[in-house]
Structure 1
Amino acid sequence: MSVSTLVKLAWAGRHADRFRLVFTALGAALGTVAMLAAATVYWLPATEIITPLPGGYTIEMHHRYTSGLLNDTAARPWFAAFLLVLALPALVFAAQSARLGAPARDRRLMAIRLAGATPGQLRLIAVAETAVACVLGALVGIGAYFALRQLAPGPVLFNPDADPYDFPGWRPGNGLVLRLPLPSDALPPVWVFPAVAVCIPVLAAALTTIALRRLTITPLAVTRLPRVRGLRWWPLAAIAAGFGLLALHRILGRVDFGDKDVTLPLSAWSAVILLGVGVSLCAVPLGQLAARIALRHLRSAAPQLAARWIIADPWNGSRSLAVALVAVCGAATAIEGISYGRSIGMTGRALNGDVQRFGLLALAMTLLVAVAGLLFAIVEGLLTRRRALASLVAAGAPTAVLARAVLWQALLPTVPAVALAILVGQTAIATAETLPSPSDPIWAQTALGVGAIAGIAAAASLSLIVLRSTVKVTELRLE
């Protein structure tokens, strides 16, 4: 199969396929901008200029930015790593949007298989579709990066005393100085741009290959291997084990046992990993449990339908929901830790206003991308079940009942999972606290939970637009 034929087959399709390519490219563009921003911060010139002298050396500080995060050379690698982590939700969004309109794409691949293509060539077509969209998205992201540099504000007057990490005594004179709000005066190395443009499609192709591993395409049918599993509690067991390691970490910090430089970091990071894995996957068992409770105790049609859908496919939308749960848990941990630090008069980088504003922006972006990915997962489920939904409407089921069932399906696993994520974030800090925490974070944690649940409910509500076209009786004639 030639390259031109491969690209033509990959880009063939109807409106749903066009939307899939556009949203996949959008996710790749967002990931590209995040990666290039991380590279820019990492390769900023050093703030400290060391001048050797006969009897020693002098250090001269050249702060160029209004943010203490950008002026602190030691903090830049961590800041860049955090920006790099923000690219992960964008890539998950690209992978999730690649499943938009999957039924129509499967029928198209089945027709190509009937024409003589091998299963390997079909997977190559699907991978090429995602890779080409991501290449275009990466190029758009590079263009957007340079456009944002041009639109970045110029130098502004800044009071150095407002930055707790500034050192006005090392600079002649006091008063207002010119600073840049963003690092628009620096660029990463040239090789970073082609590296990012290649890295994004490769990662997307790998994710597509993983997503297609359970898909079997024959000349007459497309079969997805079912993922129906029993109720598994190991994510919740991982959370319990993480708290056990946190308790062990606190004990090791008080007693004289082993090398504390090894035992304390090992126990702390092991606890963080276990808590992160448990929180990210807890929606699946909690959703199954909530569905079984709804089947037993709720007799109306909408929760009964939603519970059946969840039990049939508990992993639907779990990737995007996992990103949202990790973000909620991290935000709950930060809220509790910052409030505790202020109550005991601590000073540090976490209490800096720049850090908190950036953390709030990162949380909002992560939740927005996760909610968008969850929207695509719900739409994919509606398109996959369109014949069954049309049959229900033809048999007399009201469309309003199906709409409420979609909302129940989104909220049954979300509400307990978000509550557990916030509880884990609070308890993780509480294990290290020796003084009572103020009551102020309770309102912040409540607002965090309500906001996350409201965002997921909004995504489910937007999917109802697709439901109207899905339940038409004419869908019964389509195959």
Structure 2
Amino acid sequence: MRNLMALTWRLLRGGGRRGLLGSSLTVAAVAVSTTLLIFAVAVNFAFAGRAGREAWRSPVPAGGTARAIEAVQADLVRGRLVTVVHVAVLVPGIAPPPGLTRLPGPGEVAMSPALAAIANLPELVGRFPRTVAGTVGDAGLIHPGELVAVVGHAPADPVMSGRGTAGHRPGAPATRVAGFEGATTPDAGAYSALAAVASVFMVVPLLVFGGAAARLTVARRDRRLASLRLVGATPGQVVVMTVAEAVITAFGGAVLGLVLYAAASPPLTRVEIAGGPWFVADLWPGVLPLAAVLLAVPLLVGVSAVAGLRRIVVSPLGVAKRETPPAMRFVRVTGLLVALALVPTLGFGARVGVVVAVLGLAFLSLNLVGPWVVALVGRVTVRAARGPASLLAGRRLVDDPRSAWRTVSGVALTGFVAGFVGLLAPSSSLSAQDDVVASWLLRDIRTGTLIVLVVSFLVAIVSAGITAASSVLDRRQTYALLRLAGTPLEVLDRARRLETLVPLTVMGGGSILTGAICATPFAKVGVSSTGAITLLVCVVAGFAGVVGAGALSRPLLRSVATDPAPRPD
């Protein structure tokens, strides 16, 4: 085992400048995946944390002896929501709510720092008692800068009996409680459900991208491992070497991704959801979730690398001779058909877990269907070819549809997200409601949609750029031989563009349609011109991003195509 690890490390270090470039591409891909994966995980913990800090304002009636009375009111002051919690102690010794060291007594008030800073505004003068009993700390606030006051009363005060609430927006009526644990509010539950769905839209492309990172520069590594297999290496030794190489590079990328996320966290806290920004601690899911991500990403990359070893173990000579692998079968489409058949069971009455499972199945199935469709598109392209560029592109799609799919999978999967959220983009007229909280929800849906699309496009464009460069490195010998045989560089570059744009057009359109179909049970949210504009922008940005990412690797193509002495690794 020690000798195998030493050989793996030597091969990893001794790959030369282009071998180092290939490993660097893998590290970069894993780093981006890890950064965004941590963000997708942290979003759920962040909303759960907010729900926990808000719960004390949703009083639960006492099942036995009541120890306090709690009433909650909400009002607007210069466009900002002010939450006032009225409390009256029935039994001394009751523990205060989160963020308070003690409950204010009758005629006392505790304010959040933000509310205390504006307490002299004319609209607030005389609204609260003059005696300040303390401060509502971060543990009792939904977000930084929230305006919250806790006012102490005697049990006989009108507000504690349900009277005296005229002129205020709805909150929670006077309730006899045993404590201030509270319950999750409906709004908090809605945000948590939307965060779970958004996580599916972000996590699935990241998992696909992370798995694809294990197959970057696949031809170089496969030929090298096939050579070792032919000279006597056992299947077990080949697997160990592959896992070791993949895990070493992936772990380095995962650590780099954690560093990038730490750098990105402060700006992310400024994104306002549900009326305010975030505490820094909200965006850190904890030691165990972070450790799980840092372990899961290298494991995923290692498993994906091993999954591609079947041909090397079974037919190393075929790999060394670069024979065309067997065609993929129609069975790959089965999962997508099952997911689409389950779509009519979804809707607002369905459980969040069921919605997430069906959408996740459809999303993952698109990744399985992609290579099969690419191979089919390649055969059609070969038959319809009218020039050398289209013929080369079609043959390449047929020979290695998985590699071609890796280049366009990011944008294609983003098409699913765009098709889903584009159809459901709420119209501006829906946000003009009297209730500032239904308004926040609709505005936040638009904000969340934008965040999901930005994350998805970032993954897609980075994926396209990295896999395009990796593909050039994989085929550098083929490019150099074609160039020496007289093929113009422009033909090679045009073939490479067609190899990307043709399957992107087919799979991108199919993914958008699939996403729209999955969104139909939820269409009563409201469909407007905003959805069509979002969809159009997504299509244009997706194509432009892939074309631009491919153009960045053109100097690399020129470099490998003009190499006068192509040689295998």
Where in structure 2 are the equivalents of 1:444-455 lying within 5 Å? 444-455=534-545
Which of 43, 46, 53 is the equivalent residue of 2:53? 46
Deviation track 1:99-144 (CA, whole Å, cap 9, x = no partner) reads 3434443455456557764332232122112212222233333344
Cα distance in 1 for partners of 2:7, 2:439 equals 52
Change over 3 Å in CA distance of 1:85–1:466 after alignment to 2: same
Indicate if the aligned counterparts of 1:323 and 1:370 stay in contact, CA closer than 8 A: yes
Where in structure 2 are the equivalents of 1:208-227 lying within 5 Å? 208-216=305-313, 222=320, 226-227=324-325
What SS class does the counterpart of residue 396 from structure 1 fall into? Answer: coil
Q: 298-307 or 78-87: which moved more?
A: 78-87
Change over 3 Å in CA distance of 1:357–1:91 after alignment to 2: same
Cα distance in 2 for partners of 1:278, 1:475 equals 42
Which of 166, 181, 184 is the equivalent residue of 2:280? 184
Measure how far apart 1:92 and its partner are. 3.6
Q: 328-337 or 76-85: which moved more?
A: 76-85
Quote the residue 1:62 is aligned against: 141
Measure how far apart 1:403 and its partner are. 1.0
Indicate if the aligned counterparts of 1:24 and 1:98 stay in contact, CA closer than 8 A: yes
Cα distance in 1 for partners of 2:318, 2:311 equals 17
Measure how far apart 1:205 and its partner are. 1.5
Which of 423, 428, 434 is the equivalent residue of 1:336? 423
Quote the residue 2:294 is aligned against: 197
Q: 104-113 or 138-147: which moved more?
A: 104-113
- Name the amino acid aligned to 2:303: A
Deviation track 1:370-410 (CA, whole Å, cap 9, x = no partner) reads 33333444444444444443333333221111111111111
Cα distance in 1 for partners of 2:335, 2:29 equals 31
What SS class does the counterpart of residue 215 from structure 1 fall into? Answer: helix
Gaps in structure 1 of 5+ consecutive residues = 167-178, 254-259
Cα distance in 2 for partners of 1:221, 1:73 equals 54
Change over 3 Å in CA distance of 1:474–1:294 after alignment to 2: same
Q: 448-457 or 27-36: which moved more?
A: 27-36
Deviation track 1:286-334 (CA, whole Å, cap 9, x = no partner) reads 4445444443444122112211221222232324534432321222221
Quote the residue 1:138 is aligned against: 254
Cα distance in 1 for partners of 2:307, 2:501 equals 27
Check if 1:364 corresponds to 2:454: yes
Where in structure 2 are the equivalents of 1:261-272 lying within 5 Å? 272=359
What SS class does the counterpart of residue 215 from structure 2 fall into? Answer: coil
Change over 3 Å in CA distance of 1:350–1:201 after alignment to 2: farther
Measure how far apart 1:415 and its partner are. 0.8
Which of 218, 226, 229 is the equivalent residue of 2:327? 229
What SS class does the counterpart of residue 49 from structure 1 fall into? Answer: helix
Indicate if the aligned counterparts of 2:366 and 2:413 stay in contact, CA closer than 8 A: yes
Cα distance in 2 for partners of 1:145, 1:193 equals 11
- Name the amino acid aligned to 1:11: L
Indicate if the aligned counterparts of 2:214 and 2:301 stay in contact, CA closer than 8 A: no
Where in structure 2 are the equivalents of 1:225-264 lying within 5 Å? 226-229=324-327, 232=330, 235=333, 246=343
Where in structure 2 are the equivalents of 1:239-388 lying within 5 Å? 246=343, 272=359, 275-276=362-363, 279-319=366-406, 321-339=408-426, 352-388=442-478
Indicate if the aligned counterparts of 1:294 and 1:303 stay in contact, CA closer than 8 A: yes
Check if 1:99 corresponds to 2:106: no
Measure how far apart 1:412 and its partner are. 1.1
What SS class does the counterpart of residue 280 from structure 2 fall into? Answer: coil
Measure how far apart 1:184 and its partner are. 0.7
Check if 1:2 corresponds to 2:2: yes
Q: Percent identity at matched positions?
A: 22
Deviation track 1:56-102 (CA, whole Å, cap 9, x = no partner) reads 655657322479xxx96433475367457635544543443443434
Indicate if the aligned counterparts of 1:123 and 1:212 stay in contact, CA closer than 8 A: yes
- Name the amino acid aligned to 1:2: R
Indicate if the aligned counterparts of 1:21 and 1:133 stay in contact, CA closer than 8 A: yes
Where in structure 2 are the equivalents of 1:161-180 lying within 5 Å? none
Cα distance in 2 for partners of 1:435, 1:148 equals 32
Change over 3 Å in CA distance of 1:242–1:319 after alignment to 2: same
Which of 374, 389, 393 is the equivalent residue of 2:483? 393
Cα distance in 2 for partners of 1:414, 1:477 equals 32
Deviation track 1:189-236 (CA, whole Å, cap 9, x = no partner) reads 43344333322222221122112233248699736674342684963x
Change over 3 Å in CA distance of 1:459–1:122 after alignment to 2: same
Cα distance in 2 for partners of 1:197, 1:248 equals 36
- Name the amino acid aligned to 1:360: L
Indicate if the aligned counterparts of 2:390 and 2:495 stay in contact, CA closer than 8 A: yes
Alpha-carbon RMSD: 4.5
Cα distance in 2 for partners of 1:261, 1:246 equals 11
Cα distance in 2 for partners of 1:220, 1:233 equals 25
Change over 3 Å in CA distance of 1:135–1:360 after alignment to 2: same
Which of 528, 536, 547 is the equivalent residue of 1:457? 547
- Name the amino acid aligned to 1:455: G
Change over 3 Å in CA distance of 1:5–1:58 after alignment to 2: farther
Change over 3 Å in CA distance of 1:210–1:246 after alignment to 2: closer
Quote the residue 1:24 is aligned against: 26
Check if 1:129 corresponds to 2:245: yes
Measure how far apart 1:335 and its partner are. 1.7
Quote the residue 1:469 is aligned against: 559
Normalised to the residue count of structure 1, the TM-score between the two structures is 0.74
Normalised to the residue count of structure 2, the TM-score between the two structures is 0.64
Quote the residue 2:170 is aligned against: none
Cα distance in 2 for partners of 1:435, 1:352 equals 10
- Name the amino acid aligned to 1:317: A
What SS class does the counterpart of residue 287 from structure 2 fall into? Answer: coil
- Name the amino acid aligned to 1:30: V
Q: 52-61 or 440-449: which moved more?
A: 52-61
Cα distance in 2 for partners of 1:138, 1:391 equals 37
Change over 3 Å in CA distance of 1:478–1:316 after alignment to 2: closer
Indicate if the aligned counterparts of 1:338 and 1:351 stay in contact, CA closer than 8 A: no
What SS class does the counterpart of residue 553 from structure 2 fall into? Answer: helix
Cα distance in 2 for partners of 1:435, 1:81 equals 15
Change over 3 Å in CA distance of 1:141–1:283 after alignment to 2: closer
Quote the residue 1:174 is aligned against: none
Measure how far apart 1:473 and its partner are. 5.8
- Name the amino acid aligned to 1:458: G
- Name the amino acid aligned to 1:137: G
Quote the residue 1:172 is aligned against: none
